[in-house]
Amino acid sequence: MKNLLIIILTLFSTITNAQVVKGKVSDFYSHEPIIDATIKIILLDNSELHSKTNLNGTFEYKTIQKTLMLITTSFSYKTDTINFKQFEENNNEIWLAESKGIICTVPIIYKAEESNPEYDYKINGQSTTNFVDSLNRKQGRWVIAQNDKYDKKSKYSFGQPMSIGYYKNNVQVGKWLILTPSGKIKKTINYK
């Protein structure tokens, strides 16, 4: 009887410690909710949960573990990866932009781009691009793109890659490619 009571109390404490996380996925430009978006939730132990948005663009999930990141996908939208700290700072809202042309979230491989396994940042065995860790530090491969859609003076169009390289703990490392507005390599810079 004592063992049964311990088991029941353990289950009850696990259930009461579960955190309910709620969020919303919206279109970046129209601010309309995105219906049926898929959210892959990566937890501290690298396990995954999955959720979908409803007709209001909202989703929720329950976990007893700390959430590391949310990866959101929806048809005709760019995939968005956001760490949990950024998600909370953004009032639990994820903004997706429509997928048009060259997108910085799509890996672009140049022959001159070196693979840097020592700086590569992997989650669940897969390399990341433009990843910010839970301490808000840039890690792994980054594609820096023109991100100001209102900048009329820029020679680069919105979303167009300007440079590609690696970060380790928020510091540029290894070989970086600086690109021209036409996408050609302008120069390379080696960081130590």
Domains and CATH numbers, the chain: 20-100 (2.60.40.1120), 101-192 (no CATH)
What is the average pLDDT across 134-141?
Answer: 81
Percentage of the chain surpassing pLDDT 90?
24
pLDDT at 135: 77
Q: Pick from 137, 143, 189: which is nearest to 162 by CA?
A: 143
Q: Pick from 98, 93, 106: which is nearest to 26 by CA?
A: 93
pLDDT at 75 over 90: no
Q: How many CA atoms, within 13 angstroms, populate the side-chain half-sphere of residue 23?
A: 30
Q: Which residue would you say has higher pLDDT here, 102 or 122?
A: 122
pLDDT at 38: 92
Whether the CB-CB separation of 25 and 74 falls below 8 Å is answered with yes
Structure confidence at residue 14 as a pLDDT band (50, 70, 90): very low
Q: What residues contact residue 155 under an 8 Å CB cut-off, 6+ apart?
A: 181
> Tokens standing for 35?
């219906």
- Output phi, psi for 84, to 5 deg: -65, -35
For residue 6, the SS3 value is helix
Read off the pLDDT of residues 142-169 as tens digits, 9 standing for 90 and up: 888 877 666 778 888 877 888 988 899 9
CA 172 and chain centroid, separation: 19
pLDDT at 80 over 60: yes
Radius of gyration of the chain (CA): 20
Q: How many CA atoms, within 13 angstroms, populate the side-chain half-sphere of residue 21?
A: 24
